[in-house]
């Protein structure tokens, strides 16, 4: 077998000689390592882009939810305010109606017609009228009334005991 640096002549089936290309393998390993590192950097960069996108989507979702929640709370307060204002209007209307009825019932003509019509009362004559001075103290004081009760109770106790 004749071995030339570039070509081999003859059969190598029995004992093949292999030249190991250490430099080629080393270069291949370095290129593969560089390719793996580049792929790793690209994947990391893609992950950072995805993470940033997801973070933006999450922030937008939170902002949207908070805006919707605040609108809902404002709507609820506005609905409650409208309900209270309607209630206030109803109460004021009822108050005005009661004032009108009070004026109606306090008028002398209404009292007189009601007394004569429903209660069958008659107006007294001047000769049958008795005037009473209400400025004077016509009633006994409470302490004197209590003393009289106590004296009656004490009198009965003294009789039996």
44-55 pLDDT, tens digit per residue, is 999 999 999 999
- The pLDDT-based confidence of 98 (bands split at 50, 70, 90) is very high
DSSP designation for 5: S
Distances (CA, A) of 85 to 66, 79, 81, 90: 28, 10, 6, 9
Residue 115: count other Cβ atoms within 10 Å of its Cβ: 13
Give the lowest-confidence range in 28-32, 69-73, 113-117: 113-117
% of the chain beyond a pLDDT of 90: 46
Q: What is the pLDDT of residue 24?
A: 82
Encode burial over 66-75: b for 16+ CB neighbours within 10 A, e otherwise: eeeeeeeeee
Report the Cα–Cα distance between both ends of the chain, in Å, rounded: 159
For residue 32, what pLDDT band results from cuts at 50, 70 and 90? very high
Predicted confidence (pLDDT) at residue 11 exceeds the cutoff of 70: no
Mean pLDDT, rounded, of the chain: 83
Q: Residue 74's Cα: distance from chain center in Å?
A: 10
As given in the structure block, the two tokens for residue 28 are 């291949």
At 132 the three-state DSSP class reads coil
Check residue 86 and give its pLDDT.
97
Average pLDDT over residues 149-157: 70
- Sign of the torsion formed by the C-alpha atoms of 154, 155, 156 and 158: positive
Lowest-pLDDT choice from 9-23, 34-48, 59-73: 9-23
């Amino acid at each position: 077998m004749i071995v030339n640096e570039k070509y081999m002549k003859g059969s190598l089936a029995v004992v093949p000689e292999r030249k190991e290309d250490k430099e080629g393998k080393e270069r291949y390993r370095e290129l593969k390592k560089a390719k793996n590192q580049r792929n790793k950097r690209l994947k990391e960069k893609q992950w950072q882009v995805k993470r940033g996108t997801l973070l933006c989507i999450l922030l937008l979702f939170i902002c949207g939810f908070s805006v919707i929640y605040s609108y809902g709370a404002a709507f609820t307060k506005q609905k409650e305010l409208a309900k209270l204002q309607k209630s206030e209007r109803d109460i004021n209307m009822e108050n005005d109606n009661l004032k009108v009825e009070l004026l109606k019932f306090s008028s002398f003509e209404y009292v007189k017609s009601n007394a004569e019509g429903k209660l069958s009362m008659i107006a007294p004559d001047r000769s049958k009228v008795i005037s009473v001075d209400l400025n004077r103290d016509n009633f006994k004081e409470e302490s004197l009334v209590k003393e009289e009760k106590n004296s009656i109770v004490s009198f009965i106790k003294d009789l039996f005991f």
